[in-house]
Structure 1
Amino acid sequence: MPQDPRDAPDAVCHEPDGLLVVEDGRVVARGAYETTLRSFPGVAVEKLPGLVVPGFIDAHVHYPQTDCIASYGEQLLDWLDTHIFPAEKAFADKDHAAEVAAFFLDELLRNGTTSALVYPTVHEASVDALFEAALERDMRIVSGKVLMDRGPEGLADTLASGRAATEALIRRWRGRGRLGYAVTPRFALASSDAQLADAGALLSEHPEVLMHTHLSENIHEIAAVAARFPDSTDYLDVYDRFGLVTARSVFAHGVHLSDRACSRLRSSGAGVAVCPSSNLFLGSGHFDFGQADRHGLRLGLGTDIGAGTSFSMLQTAGLAYQAALAREDRLDPFRALYLATAGSAGLLRIGDRVGSLQPGQEADFVVLDCAATPLLARRTANADLATRLFALQILGDERAIARTYVMGRCAWKRTP
């Protein structure tokens, strides 16, 4: 599904008995088995035990928060102060960062996620550790040093050090493997006006990078932003004044957006990574799919670990359905799958490379097991495709991932 089913109802493509031809890590062809096989006589065929879908793409996740998942009792701002900032200080230690990065990426693969837009910490070493681990696994990872010169002690950079480290990291990692860079101001409250302006300058100076930050996640956060920036029309306008709202901008959450902000997101080409699990866990609210669709916003899906409660994009898609229904909107299982694959790929500006298994794309894909648990097997027996997908999204998790392939290579396989 290279197109959003919202905009192209005939975008769904499924081959009940299909063949995916992969050569040198890329998709060469795909289609009905018998027809496609005739075009490739003698090709070696491996039968895959399940439903094959593109590799999942997590559009917003924090690897340093892996060990903070399921931290009790706070909404966003207090949760950051109590649980997250103390944990992130440890990432000044490269060895610690490397150990967490390795676990984090392996957990992504175990859950069928092959690409992600990832927050590290303010520490340069945290980016190096993540990129080194991703390079070893040949994963498509986009990340960038967090900018936060108004952060707490041990997590604050300066205007000069933030720019210097960002420039050094872009030089060091540009063009290596399947990696990409994102200028990453943590959120409006964590940076001075000067640093936000410099983030905008960095984005302008490096047309190949993304911009990744948080937007309108929690009502207390929004109130604090309004108090600090009283001359701004709304939260998005804060970023806009510093040159941070562009077609390369990915904003996480967007739970409480004005229609004006939605119109501006649409006109700029920026998009929103919807994170239903963390929005529920932190009591932030439910994303308004109806409003987003009225404005034609570009959307992807993110787990937002560690406020998110699962690495599973299947489970995250199921929660997106429930978040939509809470506002009396419908999110069908095909569109939920699109958001977790091609939608997120488009948001990350990598849709030409991953997300829909089109010929020429990199061969990242997942084999889903509709009988991974007794309940799933019972619910999906003799069911049509939409019912099987929906059951996987509501009842499934990492147990439903039979295999994960990266560039045509099996990177993870479930053991009996």
Structure 2
Amino acid sequence: MGPVTGLPELLRECAPPVLAAVVRRYGDFEACEDAVQEALLAAARQWPETGVPQRPRHWLITVAARRRVELLRNETARRRREEAVRHEPAPEVRGDDELALLLLCCHPALSVPAQITLTLRAVGGLTTAEIARALLLPEATVGQRISRAKQRIRDTGTRFELPAPAELGDRLTAVRHVLYLIFNEGYTASSGDTLHRVELTREAIRLTRQLYRRRPDDGETAGLLALMLLTDARRPARTGSDGSLIPLADQDRARWDRTAIDEGVAIITSTLARAPIGPFQLQAAIAAVHDEAAAAADTDWPQILALYGMLRALAPSPMVTLNRIVALAMVDGPHVALAALEAAAADPVLARHYRTAAVRAHLLELTGDRPGAREQYRQAARRTLSRPEQRYLESRAAHGTGPGGASVGDGR
């Protein structure tokens, strides 16, 4: 037995492989997840007194397997199965177990909110209460969402196994999408008083890193990891001491995490040289251009504009359109960008989005139209649910801005 240090982190690290091993052995994700949760609770109670076992994962798997057998004992229809598994040795962790678990949690039969919640619980190892705090939801709502997701998996008869190679690509696309959503919600919370939810960004990076280790040749997984690292590297400089938002152009770049930037740049440079280009790789390349500029004035905007042009052709979206318009302003001037924005705002999604008003405000300010800019900043502030962004936009409306306004649409 060893001393108990960092117990919550250890249990969170152990939870995914333990659950994967138990599900692979016994099937029935819902019951196995309950059994693993009870094993984790038992460890949290016992290990502070007895010490951490030399093989903590094996201990947890053994306890969870026993609990699973106890649950089987209460199911009359499965008594024969109970006898078959009671004396079996505890299952061991296999290399692709956690990938199979990720794919199971991101099953296409589940809604995206259910996929996110189940991934955080089963693969991330977060408790229901932690997920509720991270997503700003009532704990009861999160609990119900998890229960319904597990029930849905059981109803579909999904087996715990890797899909056929022909299906793996589409399933990995869903996994990357869920991890990206988790990261985004952590990096810029969609509502509430706090800009960042660090537990979500940290978990998204950890899970994406695991996926990258298992699929190092997958260009888009590498691109996603690089994008997360290059974006999260700016987080230390992104808020002031009072929690106020600091735009990209005004950030103290000495506070950026250079280790994360170096790793992200190395990953995306290597990936672009060998893999078919995908949307996450292009976004990571854009982030790398921002991060490699020693000062805001050194940013290579023509390269960023070209990359956004490629991204718009490959994976068009309203936010890509807005970000490209910001880059267009930095290359061809605000009047050209305003014309492009007015054309893009015909899209109902963009017409209602607070970022559209924020970008328009920035562009108007660049043209010298301060009254028009103030009104657009006020509109943007009224439309966002994020209090830090709201305060930032209200400050722009009240006091005017410098060059930092570009961050409302690009660079984060």
| Coarse TM-score class (shorter-chain normalised) | under 0.3
Report the TM-score when normalising by structure 2.
Answer: 0.27
Structure having greater relative contact order (Cα 8 Å, sep ≥ 6): 1
Name the one with the larger strand percent: 1
Largest Rg, 1 or 2: 2
Report the TM-score when normalising by structure 1.
Answer: 0.27
